[in-house]
Amino acid sequence: MSHDPSVAPEHDEPVTDASDDVPGPVAGTPADDTGDVPVPDELAFDVDDLPGGALAALEAVLMVADEPVPAVRLAAVLGLPTARVEELLDELAADYRGEHGGRPRGFELRRAGDGWRIYSSTPYADVVGRFVLDGQTARLTQAALETLAVVAYRQPVTRGQVSAVRGVNVDGVMRTLTARGLVVEVGTEPTSGALLYGTTGYFLERMGLSSLDELPPLAPYLPEIDALEGVDEPGATIGGPA
């Protein structure tokens, strides 16, 4: 893949051990089944006392989630029983569809893999696509090009696997590539449940290719996905910054 010398440099965000950034677990608090740092069982407040109650609190959390969130994780965050959170999720999804007397929204709450996430509704895909792609003429940074190459040659691939190849955290770059319409979610990894990503038809169009088979022979220089097994498991660490 050719590289334009005018491409702007981007500083990658180094991957650090989660223990450096996240407070340790509260004594006596069991870990949840996602493998994440456990959340205290009791909050200093009741989410039902917040404006809009538990439903609005759930909605607020889902609005900032960039990957599907399991109901058990949402329950831990909100300090609510998982069964009630599942009821709230169904209620919120129905509300977005306009089943409670309101108008249908331009977004919807869907189950994806083992979790839930808010997506723009399918009927508005063309409008959203025009917004996302409109004015996006700026060149991709070197970091974005390298990340895109890993996805293109090793797809379907998880964020963790891409990070392992590059040796740095690629979450921000992957969001950029997704927003540009170059990368898209294509499923979930059976073992870890992590989202899998692949390139899009728009990627082929921009590269002037009719299929991925026409990509230059760069793949032999990249590690096989099998060699990256386990990088998406809880507690897995990735090498230092590039």
**C-alpha 157 chain-centroid distance:** 12
pLDDT digits (tens, 9 = 90+) for 181-204: 899 999 998 888 889 999 998 888
**Lowest-confidence pick of 32-41, 96-105, 147-156, 201-210:** 32-41
Q: Which of 180, 184, 172, 179 is nearest to 143 (CA)?
A: 172
Q: Where are the domains of the chain?
A: 1-23+140-242, 31-123
- pLDDT score, position 130: 75
93 and 127 in contact (C-beta within 8 Å)?
Answer: no
pLDDT digits (tens, 9 = 90+) for 116-125: 999 888 888 8
Domain covering 1-23+140-242 assigned CATH 3.40.50.720 in the classification: no
For residue 92, is pLDDT > 90? yes
Task: Name 157's bridge partners.
Answer: 197
Question: Helices H, strands E: what count in the chain?
Answer: 9, 5
199 and 162 in contact (C-beta within 8 Å)?
Answer: no
Share of the chain above pLDDT 90, in %: 32
113 and 186 in contact (C-beta within 8 Å)?
Answer: no
- pLDDT score, position 34: 45
Do domains 1-23+140-242 and 31-123 share one topology? The answer is yes
At which residue do the structure tokens 């399918």 appear? 122
Q: How far apart are CA 119 and CA 124, in angstroms?
A: 11
- pLDDT score, position 124: 85
Domain 31-123, architecture per CATH: Orthogonal Bundle (1.10)
pLDDT digits (tens, 9 = 90+) for 10-46: 444 444 444 444 343 333 344 444 444 444 456 677 8
